[in-house]
Amino acid sequence: MSSRTRSLAWRLVLIGALTVIIQIAAVSQLTIFGARADLTPLVVAAVALLCGSLAAAGFGFGIGLFSNLALVQTVGLSSLLLLGIGYAIGRFRELRDPQGALVPVIAGVVATAADRIGFSLMEFLLGRPVPLGWSLVLEVLGTVAINALLALPVYALIRALLLPVLPEDPRRRRRRAYTTGGLSPLSRS
């Protein structure tokens, strides 16, 4: 294992632990129009867009497990959901290579909606009391709206923390080579 990979792993562990601690200690205490922000799916989506599917799946599992243990919830629910969310968004990044400025917002909205709906559905299937009806819809929509506003700043912060240790992407290098004078296959005569 290279030093860059070890450094990336340690940064992901630190980011995951700090995310759960900040979420529990501060962010979950703030209520805006009856909804609360949830940083965990946003951070998992950002890691998925930056690191890919396998790293994001492992990161999602770890952050979900730590969150479940810290909140004394049913162990494994958040782990399973965030593992799937991280893998799906990371796989989308690997297959489509999205470059738009709103990709982190869309990924954050999708991750938040999948996390909230999936968690409520799994709690319901386990026989736990879940508020059904309009209260659930309003809670999910409120959380998605708040997280949509937080998606870009969270992505920028995670990107700044991980960019020094991310491996060089060959697709990025290839694009850069074509934009430097005379190397484009279109300019050959």
Give the pLDDT of residue 177.
47
Q: Which two tokens stand for residue 118?
A: 């999936």
- CATH number for the domain harbouring residue 87: 1.10.1760.20
Domain count, the chain: 1
Q: What percent of the chain has pLDDT over 90?
A: 48
Distance between CA atoms of 188 and 184, rounded to whole angstroms? 7
Asked if residues 65 and 81 have their Cβ atoms less than 8 Å apart, the reply is no
Q: Which structural domain, as residue segments, surrounds residue 121?
A: 3-187
Q: What is the pTM of this model?
A: 0.84
161 has a pLDDT exceeding 70: yes
